[in-house]
Chains A and B, each alone.
Chain A
Amino acid sequence: MEKMNSQSKNQAFDLAPGTAWTGKWNQNPYKIIKRLGKGANGVVYLADTRTGQKAVKIGEDKMSLTSEVNVLRAFSKVQGNVLGPSLLDVDDVIWKGEVYPFFCMEYLEGETLLDFARKRGSEWIPVFMVQLLGDLDRLHQEGWIFGDLKPDNLIITGPPSRVRWFDVGGTTRQGRAVKEYTEFYDRGYWGLGDRRAEPSYDLFAAAMILIETAYPRRFDKPGGAAPEKTLSLLRRYIQHSQPLAPFQHVLLRALKGEYPNAQLMKKDLIQTIEKKTSRKPPASPKQKGKPHKKTRPRQRAAGSSKEKASYRPEIILTTSFLFLSSVLYFMGQWM
């Protein structure tokens, strides 16, 4: 335990494809297919299991991995769990005489937010943000804070395309200190708040994710993080980006921690999207259709689209009524 430097950690995790083992406690067989990625508490592999291909996360430190398992377990008690990947097995593996903890979870296959947006159009990004804020709201209502919210921990699954959480290692009980974070998305790093787990902490990170989509190479914080300085820097970045500028109001409120819950930020975001789409004529009909299909159920209150939609059945009903009565009339004439 004394040697916690990263060098010793990495070596232990390098399991080659084909490596197979049986869990120490539950006796389930596993066989590694490939390495998927590295999270805060361990390495994630794609593995063959009794129930098909699943993701397996192997850690070295039992305590931090168990902490993550506790979170996933709590999530699985939430009804209709879409919050994190579902937890399937928790066990230990004995490898070269050492015992490593691991757990097995649902394998979420998909693309990163940025890859997806590059292929399918940037109009998807606000849609995913709305989805994300809805999920955050549910998570917050369960008494949790996501903590380490960043594009690396999000994945777009589908179809239908939906943002899902990939790595929940940073999830923290509300009121505590945030367990894991990444500087760029951390309000403490920008001098704009502390690291207490509360809804506004996640909303700051959500705003930074949206900002990052316009600046994929990110940008640095000026030395000595005076809050006014960093805030005006972030404001400038928002104003100078064409896709971000319409969201300036929402983003700045989130950065300043002015949203007490995700629901309010989501509402503002939806309103901004509506304003944006009604103001500008669609660039190309193909690109336009997709996000609309997605957002429509969430914006039922919006006037014009609802009216247009409700004409349709009336026209169909009237024409079929006219047709039927004329058929009956001619039938009457015939006989």
Chain B
Amino acid sequence: MNHGKIKQILLLTDGCSNQGEDPAAVAAFAREKGITVNVIGVLDHGSARDHGMQEVENIAASGGGVSQIVNVDQLARTVQMVTKQSMTHTLHGVVQSELSQILGSGQEVDDLPPDKRGEVVDVVDELGETVDLDVLILVDTSASMKPKLPMVQDALTDLSISLHSRTGENHFALFVFPGKRKDTEKMLDWTPEMNSLTGVFQRMTTGGITPTGPALQAALQHFDKRLSKRSLKRYGEDEFPIEESGF
């Protein structure tokens, strides 16, 4: 079977963006480019859902992805679940469109009798196991996120364990926002291992602004760069600074 690739942005944030373009618009654009945007809203212990969490749902909805709002202690489980759910969702969509071509438009997997549906699910399961996956992780490091960062690090290590148990290849990149001098800062370029995370979050300074939109924009550009580099047959090292321009 031809190995495709799934591209995802995983955004971890705890509140409202307050600088730059509307993150939902950037997410909608990402979706058009075949990149799914998943968002996890991280709550403090005992705090209720606030209006910042509405934004979380909006971004994921425009980005064709999955959103979850969780307490920080559930983060590890949620991060891997959201990533996997979103993969299945994407693959389901691919299989769906293939099926519509075969069966005629308007025909959906859900319209199949349960027996036939089982065979389709087997195909989706198989693809989910073998497909290659690129996840760009975008972590909000504004001041209120600071105490949650050790848990974020644990959750990302956990995600790495989960994805490495698959047959398909994985690549991760890690960006944080706001950065030291820029809106966004690259902490980790495309790498198959996330073991190198230790200490990443200690080094960084947390700031007051939350430029979620520009951060998503930078993430998209990083995906583009990977594509163009790929065509040059050399990827891995990236020495270019992240551009911050809008589209």
**Is chain B a partner of chain A in the same complex?**
yes
Q: Which of B6-14, B116-124, B173-181, B225-233 contacts A (4 or more CB under 8 A)?
A: B116-124
Tell me the bound Cα distance from A193 to B199 in angstroms. 22
Closest Cβ of chain A: how far from B109's Cβ, in Å?
7
With a CB–CB cut-off of 8 A, which chain B residues contact A91? 114
With a CB–CB cut-off of 8 A, which chain B residues contact A223?
Answer: 150, 154
Q: Which of A2, A66, A177, A225 contacts B118 (CB 8 A)?
A: A66
Are A63 and B114 within 8 A (Cβ)?
no
> Once the chains are docked, how many angstroms separate the CA of A70 from the CA of B124?
13
**Complex interface: chain A residues within 8 A of B85 (CB):** 4
- Chain B residues contacting A175 (CB-CB under 8 Å) are 167
B150 and A178 contacting across the interface, CB-CB below 8 Å: no
Q: Contact check: which of A6, A101, A183 meets B77 at CB < 8 Å?
A: A183
Contact B114 A188 (CB under 8 A): no
A5 and B115 form a contact (CB under 8 A): no
Q: Is B33 an interface residue (CB 8 A)?
A: no
- A64 to B69 Cα, complex, angstroms: 21
Contact among B64, B115, B124 for A63, CB-based, below 8 A:
B124
Decide: A63 and B154 in contact? CB cutoff 8 A.
no
Q: Are A70 and B121 closer than 8 Å at their CB atoms?
A: yes
- Give the interface size class of chain A: 35 or more
How near does chain B come to A196, taking the closest CB pair, in angstroms?
4
Contact B114 A92 (CB under 8 A): yes
Interface membership of B241, Cβ < 8 A? no
A210-240 CB contacts (< 8 Å) to partner B: 223-225
B66 within 8 Å of A (CB atoms):
yes
CA distance A64 to B121 in the complex (A): 8
B61 touches A62 (CB 8 A): no
Known: A178-B165, A183-B76, A188-B161. A1 touches B115 (CB 8 A): no
> Taking the complex as formed, is A90 at the interface, i.e. its CB lies under 8 A from any CB of chain B?
yes
Contact between chains at B166 and A177 (CB < 8 Å): yes
Contact of A176 (CB < 8 Å), options: B92, B117, B118, B167: B167
List chain B residues, Cβ under 8 A from A103.
114
**B125 CB within 8 Å of chain A:** yes
Counting CB contacts under 8 A, is B107 at the interface? no
Q: Are A176 and B166 in contact (CB under 8 A)?
A: yes
- A194–B163 Cα distance when bound, in Å, is 9
Query: Knowing A99-B110, A175-B167, A176-B167 touch, does A62 contact B154 (C-beta < 8 A)?
Result: no
Give the chain A neighbours of B165 by CB distance below 8 A. Answer: 176-178, 188, 194-197
Which residues of A182-198 are within 8 A (CB) of B? 183, 188-189, 194-197
Contact of A2 with B167 at beta-carbon distance under 8 Å, contacts A70-B122, A177-B162, A188-B162 already known: no
Interface string of A87-98 (1 = CB under 8 A from B): 000111000000
Which of A63, A196, A197, A225 interacts with B92 by CB under 8 Å?
A63
Residue numbers in A under 8 Å from B68 (CB-CB): 4-6
Chain A residues within 8 Å of B163, by CB: 177
Knowing A5-B67, A5-B68, A69-B118, say if A195 contacts B162 (CB, 8 Å): yes
C-beta contact mask, B162-191 vs A, less than 8 Å → 1, else 0? 111111000000000000000000000000
Residues on A with beta carbons closer than 8 Å to the beta carbon of B154 = 223-225
A288 lies within 8 A of chain B by Cβ: no
A-B contact pairs, 10 of them (CB 8 A): A2-B61, A3-B57, A6-B68, A63-B92, A63-B124, A69-B114, A73-B118, A177-B163, A195-B161, A223-B150
8 closest Cβ pairs, A-B complex: A195-B165, A177-B165, A90-B114, A196-B165, A66-B121, A177-B166, A188-B161, A2-B61
Write the residues of chain A forming the contact surface with B, with a CB cutoff of 8 angstroms.
Answer: 1-6, 25, 62-64, 66-67, 69-70, 73, 90-92, 99, 101, 103, 175-178, 183, 188-189, 194-197, 223-225
